[in-house]
Amino acid sequence: MRVFAACRKKRGLVSDVVDDLYTVDGERFVLSVHVQPRAGRSAVLGRHGRALRVRVAAPPVGDRANDAARALLAEEFEVAPAHVELVAGQRSRLKAFRIGGLSREDLDTRLRRAMRGADPTGGPRSRLRGR
């Protein structure tokens, strides 16, 4: 029982560390993002290794999924969409977005808030759960 509680506590501490998800690029930050397109709804799901895991409802046709991910990040970090720029991973699920208009403390705070509010299940709750 103690081992389980220690693991849970350790996992909680790990989720508070967010500085491995981004790098500093001058006055901007480059955030690693793993994008799952064509989902039921757009949301932040948590971590995917050293990337922020998000899902977007848009399909990966043209730049629709990239634009949806950019809009979701702008909303999560409370910045204008013009401050969020896709810099790598145009055709990949693993992308890099440059985010400006924030201090490092603000980015850390908003990234932690997004991680705490994330939906770790990745989908809607089952109707059969609890039966």
* Domains along the chain with CATH numbers: 25-116 (3.30.1200.10)
Token pair belonging to 118: 């994330």
Give 29's pLDDT tier (boundaries 50, 70, 90).
very high
Confidence (pTM) = 0.77
Give 3's pLDDT tier (boundaries 50, 70, 90).
very low
pLDDT at 126: 40
- Please write the tens of the pLDDT for every residue from 69-106: 999 999 999 999 999 999 999 999 999 999 999 999 99
8 Å CB contact between 43 and 115: no
Token pair belonging to 129: 């759960």
Mean pLDDT, the chain, as a whole number?
81
Check residues 96 and 47 and name the one with the higher pLDDT. 96
Give the list of residues 6+ apart from residue 32 with CB closer than 8 angstroms, or none. Answer: 21, 22, 50, 51, 52, 94, 95, 96
| Strand ranges in the chain using DSSP code E only, listed in sequence order | 22-25, 28-36, 43-48, 51-55, 84-88, 94-99
E strand or H helix at 105: helix 104-116
